[in-house]
Amino acid sequence: MAERRVTVGWPEGLHARPASIFVRAATASGVPVTIAKGDGSPVNAASMLAVLSLGAEGGQEVVLASDAEGSEAALDRLAKLVSEGLEELPGTV
């Protein structure tokens, strides 16, 4: 299983708008991805309610994981999005 440990770069954490950006990017990745806060239980990264339920704050570590084919590139892109607090997934127009 591939995973990336990253620090949440959005000051407000994975709440409302940042969570929406992340969920859209996870869905667009085309591979099943999970996200967990620290060493907590993983949840579906494509589910807005699941991501919001994590309560991940800015500066906290989250773990992105997937065992699907092509997951390495998808996790790299999602990790960049989360760690840098970007407004959209890198490589999108």
Residues designated as active site: 15
Distance CA 40, CA 73 (A): 24
Structure tokens at 53: 């339920």
Distance CA 78, CA 70 (A): 13
Distance CA 59, CA 18 (A): 14
> For the chain, what is the radius of gyration of the CA atoms?
11
